[in-house]
Amino acid sequence: MARIPYLSEADITDDNRDVLERRINLYWAAGHAIGGARNFSNMGLWLRFDSKFDTRLREFAILTVGYVTRAPYEWAQHCKLALDFGATEQDIRQLMAELDGEDTGFNAVEKAIIHGTAEMVRGTKMSDAHWDTLSAEYGTELMVELVMTVSFYVGLVRFLNTMEIDLEPEIRPWLDKFPLPA
């Protein structure tokens, strides 16, 4: 159960309806600080729809954040979203295996995204080895976008986990299908 109440329809003014258009618990909790929720939403939407970074690989980074932090809300939401952005169920299973130390069929760039992201989650920066692999593949703009994506979602899972945001019933099956380790 969330640590704060979710907003209700009566709490929403016409000026703020656009921020709370997506009827998910994340926004119904964050909406208590509507200015922050608005800016937060804008950044999330830019990363999802306007970033130039490969969408499948972006989802690998986001899934890695959710998996490493054991953030059920983030993980389940992005298991579903990853499929919309080019990943497969096999990709998700391989990503889990890769993060659990198994050797998978991922190529060097995919592994660098997964492990470089995990380094950023567990510490504060990506190692030179993973940075060098990725920066040889991507220019400065895409490297900045990747780091922004990981940084944004690291912050998001801190919010989700601290506020104990509940999974929506339609998202719960994704956590059942791809369970997080204990």
The number of folded domains in the chain is: 1
Q: Is residue 37 part of a domain?
A: yes
Range of the domain at 47: 23-177
pLDDT, one tens digit per residue, over 52-64 is 999 999 999 999 9
pLDDT, one tens digit per residue, over 120-139 is 999 999 999 999 999 999 99
Q: Find the CATH number of the domain harbouring 45.
A: 1.20.1290.10
Confidence bin at 9 (pLDDT 50/70/90): confident
CB 71 within 8 Å of CB 160: yes
Average pLDDT, the chain: 96
pLDDT, one tens digit per residue, over 89-108 is 999 999 999 999 999 999 99
Closest CA to 76 of 87, 63, 61, 90: 63
Confidence bin at 65 (pLDDT 50/70/90): very high
Residue 169 has pLDDT above 90, yes or no: yes
